[in-house]
A = this chain, B = another copy of it.
Amino acid sequence: MTYCVGILLRDGLIFAADSRTNAGLDNIFTFRKLTKIEQPGDRFMAILTAGNLATSQAVVSMVSERLEEGTEETSLYKVPTMFGAARILGNALREVVDADGDYIRAEHADPSASFILGGQIRGRPMRLFHLYSAGNFIEATKETPFMQIGETKYGKPILDRVVEYDMPLDRGAKAALISFDSTMRSNLSVGLPLDLVVYREGALGVSHHRDIGHDNEYFHNLREDYGARLLDVFNGLPNPDID
């Protein structure tokens, strides 16, 4: 399985993705699910992928091949708006599923994939989209600032409680990491390493990218401390009267 989250904040964008893909708990492979599209001084985009791995890799390969040779309608380097970028990604997804879908379904497998796309193009605001497997998409807003794909439910309660559009970027990154902790505790198929990308509004092509593995001291301590303090909270709340 996969878990990816994107957060739109006033000061920037947060992207986080796990890296484990498997066809069973004893057959585990590690693949990255976060792709960056960067043109320093002009644009920054990140793509997170979930669903059929062959489909999502084909879509990312397709849009990557068209970066240089493509037009404003097909190249993420040339498209003038983030809305246009989401259209390009959705069209690539439809193209792949149109070509491969019937063959995949004939094997009783699911060809569908979904994406989170966020970024900024010079002179324009940051935008964050969730693309469905049909290639259509919805956009994050100040009121609904985060988008999730993949194994989304375990990690949603903590995001619902703490994420606000006005929170600082480091606090948003902490929220994303705790959401991953909750997901990894409840679902063995979502695992380390994580990719964490923090994009600061206006930076255009420069972002903070951290590869968080088992040796990451900050994340290790965050998980331990959060678990211990949550248990303290639980212990400190009064028990119901059951007599």
Contacts and interface: CB of A to CB of B under 8 A. Distances in A.
Contact of A233 (B182, B185, B196, B229): B229
A19 to B, nearest CB: 18
B229 A170 contact: no
A79 interface: no
A239 B171 contact: yes
A175 interface: yes
A9 B154 CA distance: 24
Nearest to A182: B157
B177 A234 contact: no
A168 to B, nearest CB: 8
A241 interface: yes
Contacts of A162: 231, 234
Chain copies in the assembly? 2
Given A154-B153, A233-B233, A237-B174, A242 B208 contact: yes
Interface string A210-243: 1000000010011001110111011011111111
A140 interface: no
A231 B210 CA distance: 25
Given A156-B154, A208-B243, A218-B241, A230 B227 contact: no
A170 B243 CA distance: 9
Nearest to A196: B240
A164 to B, nearest CB: 11
A174 B243 CA distance: 14
Nearest to A216: B240
A100 interface: no
Interface string A76-106: 0000000000000000000000000000000
Contacts of A240: 170, 173-174, 177, 196, 210, 218, 222
8 shortest A-B CB distances, which residue pairs? A153-B153, A170-B239, A157-B182, A229-B233, A198-B242, A156-B186, A208-B242, A173-B240
Interface of A: 153-158, 160-162, 168-171, 173-175, 177-178, 182-183, 185-186, 196, 198, 208, 210, 218, 221-222, 225-227, 229-231, 233-234, 236-243
